[in-house]
Chains A and B, each alone.
Chain A
């Protein structure tokens, strides 16, 4: 509820940024925040960590978040240093709130709150505390099409790399998460996704070529070539 009250303080004209990794959670948070507030974010912030095993930020395919921002028609800040990125967003877009896609990781939430707090920003996490299985099932209803670009958990084999999360695959993922005991939303670093389409995108992303790499217990799906395309159901 703390987040709900934070939202209450956001006035109708207060600009916000989305901490945007390009995955399903930040995209979904962006959709829900826009619905709730009635207007889109002012800017998307992507932190591109130098350490591929970074505990907080995604690494895989972050170079393609620019294409996603373009699809959404939004400005995009990409930095290695979180402080620099936030300062840029405050200076350039007068943001007052930072929206994140956190669901269950207290660790991530605390880290975001710490950094946002040091700039006087509020944090809004519209997905926080959701039932993970229900959340995963709602993705398709929300119009978010995500592709698995990193699999790193017992129970997820290389077959998941590049797989699109349609209803069937989401059910399969939920079953596996129960059997092997991982977070169905992949919140514990069990995997990463890359969003190809969202209600906030004006155009969809088409992947032309990609490379799957497997390291025995985990793997990544690296996009080599992608472009924007008209949405299949474009009016």
Chain B
């Protein structure tokens, strides 16, 4: 078995970057990402001698189970010899669920190629499109693997000829997406086709797959498939057409090695100065250049502690290196450089550019962090990916003594999945866990329970956002001592700018000139664009439009604090505020510093913002989830009526032979019992999933009762305050 390698042999291969490929598998939910990766690992997982003994004695997958490991490893290395030459593949985990979108984009940055897995019956689906679009955005080269071909025979009863026609449609659909989303210079290069082996067909469940070359070699093809599933020998298929050969030969042939990929990908994915030494080093994948690495995943290992995994774009990383963590502005020492051998980590002492090191000892590494030997390296990703969790539950250990363990488990989960936000309610002492949907929190709850912790969870609570639908002001508020006046006006912030903030493309750590430049590109006039006081990560901007006001510079921090406080606790119900442009219109401070302390100016700014908001038609936004339900056609009626009973919308329905796929949206607040209701209405025949879609205004008929109930739950005085309570008259 050639895939058993000593660490030394493995290093020999990976230091020759021609023989390295970094790829990921992207797929819509249920299209077979997990089965495909499992099958590749079982057949081609690179093994080191330390596990080889055990692995020889039993099936590899059994070993996995025995060790209680899930195949959710951040990276798995595969080994495969193509045309007599050995190759090492880093198969990097790319989460498929859109609920965790932040993670998808991040891991796409580490890979140069993607295997797009599509279900043969369902074809291209929403998440296929979303993730493929993101991949093309990052100049990640796709190849196509059409999975579950057996369904075409077993369920749709297609003949070999019809099968071919059916599959051509899917290929055409994928190429159409590539035409739409790829940049012109990559459009043709990135298209997939059967003739050049950039398309494979197979069944991951039955462990077989082939490309055109493989089929030709044995003079086989669709006829073999048809025969195998109409009474023939299925096991034969996997020896004739091993799945890993189909997939990995596509990867070798069509995915570029790291140094080739970086030449055209870096200009797109790294926004720093193109005249710098760093740029030269990373575009050339220079192993003698400075160390520059992007962390894509952080895993908390019970023994090793924090393990930071990512793509090394330049330099050679060694045990003991001191590296800057660019976003968190620290310097830390790499205790040990590891590489993956299959799903296991092995110490290797050093690794050159183009590889996927796993680093131990970086206590403050978070996913998305840029590591560099050079202090002020421009980061691969902004300071933070802003997650906007939409549902919250309280988590409590059954045994109070387990609380420290629970808190630790939750903190580790947050490090691994920053979309899972944990905080302690300071007033009630409750431990609150927030996530991107009920499903997301259910998974997290199960993970905690799997660690042997007995916990009780509360009913989920929806997180809302406050926003305005009109403009108001300038309004004036005085400081508590009545000696200072702050004039504020507010208006809705344009959507594309909100998106820039939430995606971290403009953030408070950026140079104000740079923010101004981006805002001008989005249609702002120069004067306003250069006057940003602060970027609020919840999706709001604070702008200075005062003219020649005294003492502004020394007062600005206090005014900013008042603005931020209003963005955290909105006037309607103390929810976060989103989508506001808040303008400091004028400022009349007291001339004596003793009269314009923080304690005076902060509340004045806060009140002025709240007062202006209340005059600008404030409303609440609720999270809306995209819901997809799949099943046989008889579910259509019952599911359609579920959508309408849940304040939802059925947006699209496709029927493929006897199958129906329904896409719609339902407000998150209506989804708590969705599982039971769908199960009940479809006799358990439907498969469904949800993902966060957008923030949408709460219907006006529900607004007032909702505000009242949130205020009541939070112990706030009854009734929304009147604007006059915050606004003063001259």
Point out residues on A near B: beta carbons under 8 Å: 53, 55, 104-108, 151-156, 177, 180-183, 187-190, 215-218
A154 and B603 contacting across the interface, CB-CB below 8 Å: yes
Minimal beta-carbon separation of A107 from chain B (angstroms): 4
Point out residues on B near A: beta carbons under 8 Å: 478-483, 590-592, 594-600, 602-603, 607, 721, 725-726
Closest to A219 in B: B480
Which 9 A-B pairs rank lowest in CB-CB distance, beginning with the nearest? A189-B481, A152-B480, A182-B599, A107-B592, A53-B482, A181-B598, A154-B599, A188-B594, A218-B480
B599 and A155 contacting across the interface, CB-CB below 8 Å: yes
**Which of A53, A107, A181, A215 is the one whose CB lies under 8 Å from B597?**
A181
A105 and B480 contacting across the interface, CB-CB below 8 Å: no
Minimal beta-carbon separation of A93 from chain B (angstroms): 31
| Chain A residues closer than 8 Å to B594, beta-carbon distance | 104-107, 183, 187-188
B595 and A217 contacting across the interface, CB-CB below 8 Å: no
A105 and B607 contacting across the interface, CB-CB below 8 Å: no
| Chain B residues closer than 8 Å to A152, beta-carbon distance | 479-482
A165 to B598 Cα, complex, angstroms: 23
A106 and B480 contacting across the interface, CB-CB below 8 Å: no
B596 and A188 contacting across the interface, CB-CB below 8 Å: yes
A107 and B480 contacting across the interface, CB-CB below 8 Å: no
| Chain B residues closer than 8 Å to A108, beta-carbon distance | 592
**Which of A55, A107, A182, A215 is the one whose CB lies under 8 Å from B600?**
A182
B597 and A182 contacting across the interface, CB-CB below 8 Å: yes
**Which of B480, B721, B725, B726 is the one whose CB lies under 8 Å from A190?**
B480
| Chain B residues closer than 8 Å to A217, beta-carbon distance | 480, 603, 607
A182 to B478 Cα, complex, angstroms: 16
Minimal beta-carbon separation of B612 from chain A (angstroms): 15
| Chain B residues closer than 8 Å to A183, beta-carbon distance | 594, 597
| Chain A residues closer than 8 Å to B721, beta-carbon distance | 216
B482 and A188 contacting across the interface, CB-CB below 8 Å: no
Can you sample 20 A-B contacts with CB below 8 Å?
A: A53-B482, A55-B595, A105-B592, A105-B594, A108-B592, A152-B479, A154-B598, A154-B600, A180-B599, A181-B598, A181-B599, A182-B598, A183-B597, A188-B481, A188-B483, A188-B600, A189-B483, A189-B595, A189-B600, A217-B607
A153 and B481 contacting across the interface, CB-CB below 8 Å: yes
| Chain B residues closer than 8 Å to A153, beta-carbon distance | 480-481, 597, 599-600
| Chain A residues closer than 8 Å to B591, beta-carbon distance | 107
Closest to A107 in B: B592
| Chain B residues closer than 8 Å to A216, beta-carbon distance | 607, 721, 725-726
Minimal beta-carbon separation of A54 from chain B (angstroms): 9
A104 to B595 Cα, complex, angstroms: 10
Minimal beta-carbon separation of B566 from chain A (angstroms): 13
Q: Which of B481, B592, B596, B725 has the most CB of A within 10 A?
A: B481
A104 to B478 Cα, complex, angstroms: 22
Q: Total contacts A to B, CB within 8 angstroms?
A: 81
| Chain A residues closer than 8 Å to B602, beta-carbon distance | 154
| Chain A residues closer than 8 Å to B480, beta-carbon distance | 151-154, 156, 189-190, 217-218
Minimal beta-carbon separation of B332 from chain A (angstroms): 33
A106 and B592 contacting across the interface, CB-CB below 8 Å: yes
| Chain B residues closer than 8 Å to A155, beta-carbon distance | 599
B478 and A107 contacting across the interface, CB-CB below 8 Å: no
Closest to A177 in B: B599
Minimal beta-carbon separation of A16 from chain B (angstroms): 26
Closest to A103 in B: B594
Closest to B565 in A: A154
**Which of A55, A104, A107, A190 is the one whose CB lies under 8 Å from B599?**
A190
| Chain A residues closer than 8 Å to B598, beta-carbon distance | 154, 180-182
A166 to B597 Cα, complex, angstroms: 25
Minimal beta-carbon separation of B692 from chain A (angstroms): 36
A180 to B601 Cα, complex, angstroms: 11
Q: Do A190 and B481 contact each other (CB < 8 Å), given the known contacts A154-B599, A182-B600?
A: yes
A201 to B603 Cα, complex, angstroms: 38
Q: Which of B479, B592, B607, B726 has the most CB of A within 10 A?
A: B592
Known: A187-B594, A190-B599. 18 other contacts (CB 8 A): A104-B594, A106-B592, A151-B480, A152-B481, A153-B600, A156-B480, A177-B599, A180-B598, A182-B597, A182-B600, A183-B594, A189-B480, A189-B482, A189-B483, A190-B481, A215-B725, A216-B726, A217-B480
| Chain A residues closer than 8 Å to B482, beta-carbon distance | 53, 152, 189, 218
Minimal beta-carbon separation of A106 from chain B (angstroms): 6
A218 to B592 Cα, complex, angstroms: 20
| Chain A residues closer than 8 Å to B479, beta-carbon distance | 152
A59 to B599 Cα, complex, angstroms: 21
A39 to B265 Cα, complex, angstroms: 87
A55 to B603 Cα, complex, angstroms: 18
A151 to B482 Cα, complex, angstroms: 11
A53 and B592 contacting across the interface, CB-CB below 8 Å: no
B600 and A190 contacting across the interface, CB-CB below 8 Å: yes
Minimal beta-carbon separation of A109 from chain B (angstroms): 9
A151 to B603 Cα, complex, angstroms: 13
Closest to A218 in B: B480
Q: Which of A53, A154, A216 has the most CB of B within 10 A?
A: A154
A151 to B726 Cα, complex, angstroms: 17
**Which of A53, A105, A151 is the one whose CB lies under 8 Å from B478?**
A53
A182 to B596 Cα, complex, angstroms: 9
| Chain A residues closer than 8 Å to B596, beta-carbon distance | 188
Minimal beta-carbon separation of B52 from chain A (angstroms): 62
Closest to A53 in B: B482
| Chain B residues closer than 8 Å to A187, beta-carbon distance | 594
Closest to B558 in A: A181
A8 to B598 Cα, complex, angstroms: 38
A154 to B721 Cα, complex, angstroms: 19
Q: Do A55 and B478 contact each other (CB < 8 Å), given the known contacts A154-B602, A189-B600, A216-B725?
A: no
A105 and B481 contacting across the interface, CB-CB below 8 Å: no
| Chain B residues closer than 8 Å to A104, beta-carbon distance | 594
A190 to B484 Cα, complex, angstroms: 12
B725 and A188 contacting across the interface, CB-CB below 8 Å: no
Q: Which of B480, B721, B725 has the most CB of A within 10 A?
A: B480
A152 to B597 Cα, complex, angstroms: 12
Minimal beta-carbon separation of B168 from chain A (angstroms): 69
| Chain B residues closer than 8 Å to A189, beta-carbon distance | 480-483, 590, 595, 600
Closest to A106 in B: B592
| Chain A residues closer than 8 Å to B597, beta-carbon distance | 153, 181-183, 188, 190
A190 to B598 Cα, complex, angstroms: 11
**Which of A55, A190, A215, A218 is the one whose CB lies under 8 Å from B590?**
A55
Minimal beta-carbon separation of B594 from chain A (angstroms): 4
| Chain B residues closer than 8 Å to A55, beta-carbon distance | 483, 590, 595
Minimal beta-carbon separation of A11 from chain B (angstroms): 33
Closest to B477 in A: A217
Closest to B607 in A: A217
Closest to B594 in A: A188
A53 to B483 Cα, complex, angstroms: 8
A143 to B594 Cα, complex, angstroms: 27
| Chain B residues closer than 8 Å to A215, beta-carbon distance | 725
| Chain B residues closer than 8 Å to A190, beta-carbon distance | 480-481, 597, 599-600
A189 to B593 Cα, complex, angstroms: 11
| Chain A residues closer than 8 Å to B725, beta-carbon distance | 215-216
Closest to B482 in A: A53
| Chain A residues closer than 8 Å to B607, beta-carbon distance | 216-217
Closest to A151 in B: B480
A104 to B481 Cα, complex, angstroms: 16
| Chain B residues closer than 8 Å to A156, beta-carbon distance | 480
A105 to B725 Cα, complex, angstroms: 29
Closest to A55 in B: B483
Q: Which of A106, A156, A216, A217 has the most CB of B within 10 A?
A: A217
A187 to B596 Cα, complex, angstroms: 11
A182 to B595 Cα, complex, angstroms: 9
